[in-house]
A and B are shown apart, each in its own frame.
Chain A
């Protein structure tokens, strides 16, 4: 750890939680900052795109990019950072697989725009939409980025070297990943850094109360269920995704009686996280007739896509809804 590592941090379609997580991680262990030389960080420091363009290619050691790709601007910046950086890391669930904003892929572009600019009750001027090009009174031409037809994970538009999962990644995950990189280790391309390679249940304190076979007569929803914080959530009928989700967060949610919602994403062997999660959740239903099963599903899982694809829809095999779609940008 002798030379300083040149780091760029960028955000795309994200909430800002990843930046908070990065600040948390660094303030948890201030010594890390001594090894970092931040060259680009739009959320906190005044650098512009031009500043990055001026840097020689491959001169940034690590670029940490969070958020999904939703605008043409994101594609431009991702490609620019790829050119300038030796290592590009998808930081957080959105960048890795689309994240919660990726659930917008259940709707098509036109539906989203119409909802936001015409249908919601707070619309100021009915039907008025942002224009790609706008000329101000002074005659200055301004251009807005394009709203893409779907949200994509970072690896759909550029090569990604590593992934740091989580929504947001816990400070421990972030520090572990940074330390791996600072130590000069080079894990194989595509590796997930800072997290476990085993399912979340393995590190969950409630795991000792989980029987070999979980079967429940009712799937409950968190908002109205009475949850015993000392018992495995699955045996209480709460759809916890621990068994199919990568560990590494120290079971932050189940520890406080909230089910795992899958933010650390799939394990290495999964083809489609949602498909696997769905398979698991359905298998705990203790019913043998079609009607009974349907009733349990309809009351407990009104929105299967929202449950099993909460963080991974844009990286799933389908990537998006196939319903009425124009087929062009």
Chain B
């Protein structure tokens, strides 16, 4: 393989701040890596840990959950809930064998396009160093298929 490994990163961004920051980065013609796929949600407090697990299973090499800065949440309390959930999820992901670099929580304000670009570049760089997940979910499915055919 001569092609360079390009990690796939899913960013779940809140409508009011972090998504606006990504938008601003675009309209300001800032260069940002193409590895990031974005899903917009109304609030980072809406991000269920099940979504993050689902992202990894569906092929993400890394996941970023992004919300307004603490204290600036459009819904006042939403991102504090995110903070609690993601802290516990981080610990769970480690137990499940996912390296800590693959999952991050970031607070990006609507004006901070620069921060979005920095976070995205940093994540891509780290994941390129790390490589793909040590075991892919296709491998697990293949293994189950093998077990199924035991006579």
Contact = CB atoms under 8 A, between A and B. Distances in A.
Q: Categorize the interface residue count of chain A.
A: 35 or more
Contacts of A317: 50, 53-54, 56-57
Contact of B148 (A157, A272, A287, A319): A157
Nearest to A304: B92
Interface string A94-111: 000000000000100000
B87 A290 contact: yes
Contacts of A290: 83, 87
A196 to B, nearest CB: 22
Interface string B88-100: 1101100111100
Nearest to B70: A288
Contact of B96 (A283, A285, A288, A322): A322
Interface string A296-329: 0100010111001000000011111111110101
Interface in A246-284: 270-272, 274-276, 278-279, 281-283
Given A282-B84, A317-B53, A305 B95 contact: yes
B94 to A, nearest CB: 9
Question: Counting chain A CB atoms within 10 Å of each CB, which of B50, B83, B144 scores highest?
Answer: B50
Interface residues of B, number: 35
B58 to A, nearest CB: 9
Contacts of B53: 272, 275, 316-318
A67 B118 CA distance: 49
A159 to B, nearest CB: 11
Contacts of A287: 84
A301 B88 contact: yes
B4 interface: no
Contact of B87 (A79, A272, A294): A294
Contacts, number: 114
Contact of A327 (B54, B97, B135): B135
Contacts of B143: 149-150, 329
Contact of A304 (B54, B91, B97): B91
Contacts of B37: none
Interface in A139-154: 146, 148-150, 152
Given A146-B150, A287-B84, 18 more contacts: A75-B150, A150-B143, A157-B147, A275-B48, A275-B50, A278-B49, A278-B92, A279-B49, A281-B88, A282-B81, A282-B87, A283-B85, A293-B87, A301-B91, A304-B91, A316-B53, A317-B57, A325-B135
10 contacts: A106-B95, A271-B54, A276-B48, A282-B85, A282-B89, A297-B87, A305-B95, A319-B140, A320-B140, A321-B96
Interface of A: 69, 72, 75-76, 79, 106, 146, 148-150, 152, 156-157, 270-272, 274-276, 278-279, 281-283, 285, 287-288, 290, 293-294, 297, 301, 303-305, 308, 316-325, 327, 329
9 interchain residue pairs of minimum CB distance:
A323-B97, A275-B50, A322-B97, A321-B97, A305-B95, A282-B88, A282-B85, A275-B49, A75-B150
